[in-house]
Structure 1
């Protein structure tokens, strides 16, 4: 994981890299990230519902990363007209036009904002990553997919105050595939209602739910998803230049990566979290430089990638 899941999907680049947080905090409690009206009645144990999703299929169908959006945000009547002020419309335009690309090991990575028709593919990637990081049986991925799908739909309504980015990897054979995803919120309007502890400031940019496809790890993809978030935050002219993310203390590789990227722990969970069988987490912060040119963003490619 690369950023703590906020379903609670957090910052943990080692696993499927959901770790730089989360789907409103699924890591601690997959239900508290959602409103009670968006979920069916909660059973005695959430995983008892798994059998109800046996027929759930993933359809990782996504458009070419180089194609134009078939459903651009600015043409969505729910996001325009009287609903958006001029500043929000400007930010929607930035999100629609955002592109980040860089060479990685044995190929290249292309990052942009997730489109509506790509939710299914993103759900599949996040669900498998979350299941791996939590050591739950693979059979429960279907249920996790239900939760993640609800979360992504709910969060997408908060654009342009947050965005879900997806990265496409193109190998030396020219084939393209969905390689990773990460979520970033820009202000308190896009912040998670139930963020993981230690709680980050809601008015500051926050990175979470980073995930890299298992077969494509150790190629620098997680690093560049992080850098893409930082570049987008700079373009969105956030009021705060302090960017936050979470990293579990047990995840030494992600911690090393975040430290190398310039993030430092500012708060840490109490040791009493161990009494409730929850891994302690660092809240990490980095102050972004004021860039005159977006090309100045540090995109150095580290040798290490989130390990398996």
Structure 2
């Protein structure tokens, strides 16, 4: 198992931090094994806090994410894909392409059954360095094209009701509220609820 982290040299890090890229600079491709360290860091940083007790749990959470990613990559099933956005001209200290963002899409499983009409998007995350540069839009559009290639008519995803930037992003990309899925435990704990959003690909298929 290789759990070494890949880092930029100081000059590379400064260059990336101070640069702004156009959406056209990012290339979308399938995930490979060399991407997993970067993806695990992006997901952990996007969805987990590093403050308080979480700063001690963060490495464990990150390792768990890495192992989940590796398992999915090695046991890839039909109609399942992981994508990354990279800038081919940027390399880290190990010579790997620098991952700017990631997304996954697969057939949605519901009580052990798989829906035949829609795909489910998860783990959309963009490195803080590359946010507001069109990376998320480009990843979502890549999923649209892949879903059409596979012959699917709809894409679904969940978003928390208090995550307004994400809701705006999905609305801009054609997702509409399908239903509120109340979780009574979360309501009792005064936690945000999950919203199910759905996008029809019918118009895209007619272009």
TM category, shorter: 0.7 to 0.9
Cα distance between partner residues in 1 of 2:65 and 2:175: 27
Cα distance between partner residues in 2 of 1:134 and 1:243: 34
Distance 1:284 1:141, change over 3 A: same
Cα distance between partner residues in 2 of 1:214 and 1:277: 28
Cα distance between partner residues in 1 of 2:51 and 2:151: 35
Distance 1:232 1:214, change over 3 A: same
Distance 1:106 1:141, change over 3 A: same
Q: Aligned match of 1:175 in 87, 90, 107?
A: 90
Deviations 1:121-173 (A, max 9, x none): 22222122221499973442211112112211232213333111111036xxx
Q: Which position in structure 1 is the counterpart of 2:197?
A: 284
Give the length in aligned residue pairs: 184
Cα distance between partner residues in 1 of 2:137 and 2:52: 24
Q: Which position in structure 2 is the counterpart of 1:160?
A: 78
Indicate whether 1:184 and 2:102 are aligned. Answer: no
Please report the TM-score for the alignment, with normalisation by the length of structure 1.
Answer: 0.52
Judging by fraction of residues, say which structure has more helix. 2
Cα distance between partner residues in 2 of 1:249 and 1:135: 25
Q: Which position in structure 1 is the counterpart of 2:64?
A: 147
The answer (yes or no) to whether the contact 1:131–1:140 under 8 Å persists in 2 is no
Cα distance between partner residues in 2 of 1:202 and 1:290: 21
The answer (yes or no) to whether the contact 1:183–1:207 under 8 Å persists in 2 is yes
Runs of 5+ in structure 2 lacking a partner? 9-20, 92-97
Cα RMSD of the aligned pairs, angstroms, is: 3.1
Distance 1:278 1:140, change over 3 A: same
Counterparts of residues 69-108 of structure 1 (less than 5 Å): 105=22, 108=25
**Displacement after TM superposition at 1:237 (Å):** 2.0
The answer (yes or no) to whether the contact 1:60–1:124 under 8 Å persists in 2 is no
Q: Aligned match of 2:125 in 196, 211, 214?
A: 211
Indicate whether 1:115 and 2:32 are aligned. Answer: yes
Equivalent residue of 2:25, what SS?
A: strand
Q: Which position in structure 2 is the counterpart of 1:267?
A: 179
Counterparts of residues 42-57 of structure 1 (less than 5 Å): 57=4
Cα distance between partner residues in 2 of 1:165 and 1:134: 29
Q: Which position in structure 1 is the counterpart of 2:5?
A: 58
Please report the TM-score for the alignment, with normalisation by the length of structure 2.
Answer: 0.75
Cα distance between partner residues in 2 of 1:267 and 1:237: 24
Distance 1:254 1:106, change over 3 A: closer
Higher relative contact order (CA 8 A, sep 6+): 1
Judging by fraction of residues, say which structure has more strand. 2
Q: Which position in structure 1 is the counterpart of 2:166?
A: 254
